[in-house]
Amino acid sequence: MSFAPLAIPALDDVPASYTIGVGRTFARELTLSLLDTHVITEADLEKRPKSELEIASRALSRRWTQITDGMRYFDWQLHIDPKPDGSFYHYPETPDSLWASIRTTDGPVSCRHVYIRDGVQALENVRVGLGQTVLATLYDAFRMLPASITPAYALGMAEWLYWYGEADESLALEEMMACYDVKSVDELKSVTDVFTRSQFFDVMPEWVALPRRVLTRRQVQIAAKRDDYAQEVVDAMDSLWNIVRFYGPFADLRSEDIGADPIDFALLVRWSDDDEITRVVDDFLHQAADGDYVTAGSVTPLKIVGDEFSEWLKAMESTALLAKAVERVLALFEARERQLSRIMVRV
């Protein structure tokens, strides 16, 4: 399986990309729906269009650029198709539906990497549990967005990929020995690389992938007052939480209806450049290529007729606002990483 680029490379001052399935009937039905729900405006009709597809493309280009404007880290490109792209079979085919998928510009494994170790450790140095509590809340926000890799997401991959759904390799050894037709663990290690939980956590604490809210809101606020950096992060998290509370509804991007794994991740959040997360992701993608997968970070089935698609676009405005709030927190982590790197170079 080849994960070739799915869209043209991103260039400065070029809007986020959008792609529409090219069937004439599909394009006509989509255009009528966009007209009926006022997604297409007078501005989209100022220049005489050559086809229904061109009208729809103009409107969606304008709308998607507005939605993603200011996004710095996440790579979200909108694709509209009669059915999603990938290799899977568990979805209903209906003539009155479209599939809205969010992909990256250049396809799987092309997304940006962000490193969080120094930023999170700085919070832990202010008060033990502060970094963990921030991560627990931040990961909840990630679950409302198109698929991105976090340490928590990568651990879930590792459990499925290496340990047959178990928490670590010890509980999966019998199944692994049966799979490779060997009689002992030593014999198993001679025929295959047994990736272990301790390897996954070799350079990062377990709570980075399994964070809990170990501090109360009051404890977080008191701790943040001791340190300017911690206060910045907590303020950013407060802004994020206010968006979750007051700016919904948000688009449902869980992609559960397709019965396949999303493999085009919008961002890769790593602990450090020597962690095992990229290994897990690479192994996962090779495995996914032999099974059911969809080349997107999210795929949402929507009715063409009616306001379901326009309502989804409206909900994506709130979802993008949440994504930008997540980016603000990540930017603070990344700035701390760069700051400490400069200090080390000077020394």
Model pTM greater than 0.85? yes
Same domain, 119 and 99: no
> How far apart are the C-alpha atoms of 19 and 98, rounded to whole Å?
12
151: Cα separation from own chain's centroid:
12
Give the end of a domain, one of 57, 81, 103.
103
The number of distinct structural domains making up the chain is 2
In a domain, 326, yes or no: yes
Q: What is the pLDDT of residue 9?
A: 37
**Consecutive H or E run containing 331:** helix 308-346
What number of CA atoms fall less than 13 Å from residue 259's CA on the CB side? Answer: 6
- Judge residue 212's burial from the number of C-beta atoms within 10 Å of its C-beta, 0-12 exposed, 13-18 middle, 19 or more buried: exposed
Same domain, 44 and 181: no
In a domain, 253, yes or no: yes
How distant, in Å, are the alpha carbons of 23, 76, 232, 237 from that of 116? 44, 21, 15, 15
Q: Which domain holds residue 268?
A: 113-293+307-345
Same domain, 217 and 72: no
Sole residue written with tokens 């990961």: 139
> How far apart are the C-alpha atoms of 90 and 272, rounded to whole Å?
37
Give the end of a domain, one of 103, 133, 168.
103
Q: What is the pLDDT of residue 11?
A: 39
Give the pLDDT of the chain (347 residues) as one tens digit per residue. 333 333 333 434 444 555 555 556 788 889 999 999 999 998 888 787 778 888 999 999 999 999 999 999 999 999 998 877 777 666 666 778 899 999 999 999 899 999 999 999 999 999 999 999 999 999 999 999 999 999 999 999 999 999 989 988 888 888 889 889 998 888 998 998 889 999 999 999 999 999 999 999 999 999 999 999 999 999 999 999 999 999 999 998 977 767 778 999 999 999 999 999 999 999 999 988 888 888 999 999 899 989 999 999 999 999 999 999 999 999 999 999 777 655 544 44
Q: What is the pLDDT of residue 292?
A: 81
Same domain, 94 and 123: no
Q: What is the pLDDT of residue 20?
A: 58
Residue 270 tokens read as 């790593």
Give the end of a domain, one of 77, 103, 129.
103
In a domain, 165, yes or no: yes
Angle at 297 (CA atoms; ends 296, 300), nearest 5 degrees: 80
Same domain, 217 and 84: no
For the chain, the C-alpha Rg in angstroms (whole number) is 22
In a domain, 133, yes or no: yes
Same domain, 51 and 26: yes
In a domain, 171, yes or no: yes
What is the dihedral sign for C-alpha 193, 199, 203, 207?
Answer: positive
Q: What is the pLDDT of residue 185?
A: 86
Same domain, 134 and 174: yes
Q: For residues 78 and 71, is the Cβ–Cβ distance under 8 A? A: no
